[in-house]
Amino acid sequence: MSVSKVLVVGGGFTGLTTAIALAQRGVERVVVIDRARSWARVGHGLTIQGNALRVFRELGVLDRILSVGQPENALTLYFADGRVMAEMKTPRTGGDDLPATIGALRADLHEILVERAESLGVEIRLGRELASYESGPDEAISVLSDGTRERWDAIVIAEGIKSAKRAGIGISAQRGPSGLGIWRAVTTRQPEMTGGIAYPAHTGGAYKVGYTPVSDDLCYIFVLCSPVRPDNGLADWQEVKRLMADFHGPFDYLRESIDEGTFLNFQEIEWIFADGPWHSGRVIALGEVVHAVPPLIAQGAAQCVEDALLFAEHVTAAGDWETQLADFYARRLPRIRGVVEASMQLAEWELHPGTPGADPGRVMGQALGALVAAP
């Protein structure tokens, strides 16, 4: 084991799963810091693929996550007018003994991970940021925003795609635009609505609309659109209804369920892929700091938690730090590269419908099929 004291910067899915995996494997001291002053129950839903569920099983939280989520093993594809295009079975990327996917509320999953981390003795400090650090071959020194200065065997940067610390680690890759934007919402659903995606007639509305059940009566909606929110005088809920206006069938119900009280989130979709290495000395970046893609095959969270588990496996095994990380990259980078290439290809076809030879179903199926084997 090359680490006994680890600081994790960022208390999202990547940071918490890294902390849990390290603590499970006997790391003596694990501390998570996050700039948030308190955890807030906000956010939208998530589609969690089977390979993420496989990681959650290893972390000891699978049963709780399944209890708050809604399992789905297939997806209905629709034309914009509501006609069914196809029923598509979702590849079981976690193996035949796990659901292909589950839908769940982000806040529910986060609470489960926080509780699991604390039960393993992970210390969580809120309202703190990493102000600066020094890194050498054998240790790293952190200076936090409260002035605290401490020594660590490793510092893990898990702040997400907007982290400003990439360049300091020596990572030259930068986040860039995908050409897409996304609205997300959580609203009610009817019992027979079991998950679907609709493709448009391209009349100035959304590029694509989809939904995933997250409970017996709720679902998570996503609306793929231009990356720029138009200044058209509409309130957010009215803008989402405008984008969904030409989508029918189950999407009529979903559209009408949105009103001024619906929690909505809009963001430009950016992407990044740093083709390794992700570390300098004893400081390493994981998750969306170094790889983030459009959510077109729902692998963002899954690839982040795979990072966490494999990183912990390698640095708590026998061997030295540099060799451990070289082996970690050899396992991770080809797998992530496949997800990035598939996701960006799908984004290109979203932006240019009717491209000769475009076959989203094939690309999605191949990309997910390649993830069935454990990472």
Reading the chain (375 residues) residue by residue, the pLDDT tens digits are 889 999 999 999 999 999 999 999 999 999 999 999 999 877 789 999 999 999 999 999 999 999 999 999 999 999 999 999 999 889 999 999 999 999 999 999 999 999 999 999 999 999 999 999 999 999 999 999 999 999 999 999 999 999 999 999 999 999 999 999 999 999 999 988 989 999 886 667 899 999 999 998 999 999 999 999 999 999 999 999 999 999 999 999 999 999 999 989 999 999 999 998 999 999 999 999 999 999 999 999 999 999 999 999 999 999 999 999 999 999 999 999 999 999 999 999 988 888 898 888 889 889 999 999 999
Q: How far is CA 9 from the centre of its chain?
A: 17
Q: How far is CA 107 from the centre of its chain?
A: 13
Distance CA 57, CA 275 (A): 28
Distance CA 258, CA 46 (A): 18
Distance CA 184, CA 44 (A): 6
Give the pLDDT score at 364: 86
Question: What is the side-by-side strand order in the sheet with 140-144?
Answer: 130-135, 140-144, 149-152
Give the pLDDT score at 180: 96
Contact 166, 152 (CB under 8 A): no
Give the pLDDT score at 360: 86
Give the pLDDT score at 243: 95
Give the pLDDT score at 326: 97
> From the CB of residue 38, how many other CB atoms can be counted at a distance below 10 Å?
7
- Rg of the chain over Cα atoms, rounded to whole angstroms, equals 21
Give the pLDDT score at 201: 66
Residue-by-residue DSSP string for 21-62 = HHHHTT-SEEEEEES-SS------EEEEEHHHHHHHHHTT-H
Give the pLDDT score at 68: 95
